[in-house]
Structure 1
């Protein structure tokens, strides 16, 4: 079952035409990932970065924008795990306003040591929360 959260489109997200400026979507996507780590995985970014000295940088993003989002709308974001590697994690994040899709993003995160910048294997305390969710079938990885 995907992780779901909602974000209101604020003035700070919009260009002069009142629609979301596409780089702001990536900030929203990062907020969704951060909320998921805190609420589902049980490791908030403060614990990861400050206490554990680890991080989950984005290694790749592929995003399709389906329709513009406007100031004042509320977007529902769904995050689903597509695949789990030894050090990486493939996610799909979909944003909708009501029933209308606004974006689909396939992202790959890598678990790394902040000091060396080198990938680390996912700890079992995190890995067991990475339930693969492919309701419409996962694409071949």
Structure 2
């Protein structure tokens, strides 16, 4: 089942033509991933970064922009985990506005120790929640 959340296109996201400036989509994607971890994996980024000294940096990102999004649009983001490795997670994210696909993205995150910067295995509880969400 996909994780679904919405983002309103605000002035801060737009270029002078009032369409989303593409780097802002990556900020939106990151906020969707952050919300997914907090709400579904039940470990928020503060707990990971500040308390546990672990993180999930993006190591691969492939994005296609299908149509422009404009100031005031309400975007629906659908996130689906597609693969869980021993230290990695691949996600598929699609953003739509009404019946139109605006972007599609495939990204891979790696679970790392923030002190060493090296990949480490998912903790059992986090891995189990991720596996449960696989499409």
Tell me the TM-score normalized by structure 1: 0.94
Equivalent positions of 1:1-141 (< 5 A) are: 1-130=1-130, 131-133=133-135
Deviation at 1:38, TM superposition (A): 0.2
Question: Which structure 1 residue ranges, 5 or more long, are not aligned?
Answer: 134-141
What are the Cα deviations for residues 88-109 of structure 1, in whole angstroms up to 9, with x where unaligned? 0000000000110000000000
Aligned to 1:137: none
Distance, in Å, in 1 between the alignment partners of 2:41 and 2:82 is 15
Q: Distance in 1 between matches of 2:128 and 2:24?
A: 31
Structure 2 residues without counterparts, runs of 5 or longer: none
Q: TM-score, normalised by structure 2?
A: 0.98
> As a proportion of its length, which structure holds more helix?
2
Please list the CA deviations of residues 14-70 of structure 1 after superposition, one character each: whole Å capped at 9, or x if unmatched: 000000000000000000000000000000000000000000000010000000000
- The CA distance in 2 between the partners of 1:128 and 1:98, in whole Å, is 33
Measured on the aligned residues, the alpha-carbon RMSD in Å equals 0.4
Distance of 2:27 and 2:53 partners within structure 1: 22
Cα distance in 2, alignment partners of residues 74 and 88 from structure 1: 31
Spell out structure 1 runs of 4+ moving beyond 4 A: none
Q: CA deviation at 1:128?
A: 1.1
